[in-house]
Amino acid sequence: MNHPQQVRYLLRLDDACPTMDLNAWTRIEALLDRHGVSPLVAVIPDNRDPTLCRAPADPDFWARVRTWRDRGWELALHGHHHLKLTREAGLVPFNRASEFAGLPLGLQRSKLAAGLTVFRTEGLEPRLFVAPWHSLDHVTLAALRQVTPIRCISDGLALRPFSRCGFRWLPQQTWTPTPRTWGFWTICLHPDNLGPRDLEALDSFLHEHSAAVLGSLDELLTGALPSSRGPLDYALGALILARRARERGKHAR
């Protein structure tokens, strides 16, 4: 391999659903294709979140998701309806809002099973779970175990993938394409909200770093992972949470 081993990036595209902004997604698809990069896409199985209704529902949406799968893009089950049902922050405390954390096991099970059924009806099998607003709890993990084969979560604050509670966690710590010196970084992007400048920034980032972007998650989904996080992971987590809290304070003013 012709790139340094110490840093790896995963690109994650959030909030794919039939009412997404098709032009925005087409632009980012073209950009990623140009750089030969495959992202993880968080697909909402049955969106009811009005803020994600950017266009009339696309009847070809699921056919498009299958083309993503066919070109090697990884798919994640992104909740169920993408609705804020509780004010629980859960295990990854970015937001006090959740579609799952705080709900009883039976309800979490039925929501996950319903979401998975939508994928399977469309001939698709998600290998990861992405909780809306990063919020999931131990009950969500139990429900995932009971009604899905999914054993990997794209979330968590750490510098490398780790295993916890019988699940693989691929940490997700950043929302901008910023070069790093080492570690595993998931860059979460919301294509509906990316302006021309954001796309330019992503383009120049990929120009330099596309070789360090993971093409396939196979190894991470099957290989051995460290079972604990160390002091550096916790320090990074505290830093990111503090920065997010500061940014939120700024916006509130």
For Zn ion, which is the closer residue by CB, 16 or 141? 16
For Zn ion, which is the closer residue by CB, 14 or 192? 14
Q: Which residues touch 18 (CB under 8 Å, ≥6 apart)?
A: 47, 57, 58, 59, 61
E strands, the chain, in order: 7-16, 40-43, 74-77, 128-129, 152-154, 162-164, 167-170, 183-189
For Zn ion, which is the closer residue by CB, 131 or 206? 131
For Zn ion, which is the closer residue by CB, 57 or 238? 57
Residue 132 is classified by DSSP as G
> Does an H or E element contain 59, and which?
none
For the chain, the distance separating the N- and C-terminal CA atoms, rounded to the nearest angstrom, is 48
Closest CA to 10 of 234, 229, 209, 231: 209
The distance of closest approach from Cβ of residue 253 to Zn ion in the complex, given in angstroms and rounded to an integer, is 25
| Helix orientation angle between 138-147 and 105-121, rounded to the nearest 10 degrees | 50
Q: Are 44 and 12 in contact (CB under 8 A)?
A: no
Q: Which spans of this chain sit near Zn ion (rule: CB under 5 A)?
A: 14-15, 132
The distance of closest approach from Cβ of residue 60 to Zn ion in the complex, given in angstroms and rounded to an integer, is 21
Q: Are 190 and 16 in contact (CB under 8 A)?
A: no
The distance of closest approach from Cβ of residue 39 to Zn ion in the complex, given in angstroms and rounded to an integer, is 15
The distance of closest approach from Cβ of residue 133 to Zn ion in the complex, given in angstroms and rounded to an integer, is 7
Question: Could you tell me how far CA 27 lies from the centroid of its own chain?
Answer: 19
The distance of closest approach from Cβ of residue 68 to Zn ion in the complex, given in angstroms and rounded to an integer, is 17
For Zn ion, which is the closer residue by CB, 8 or 169? 169
For Zn ion, which is the closer residue by CB, 7 or 53? 53
The distance of closest approach from Cβ of residue 6 to Zn ion in the complex, given in angstroms and rounded to an integer, is 30
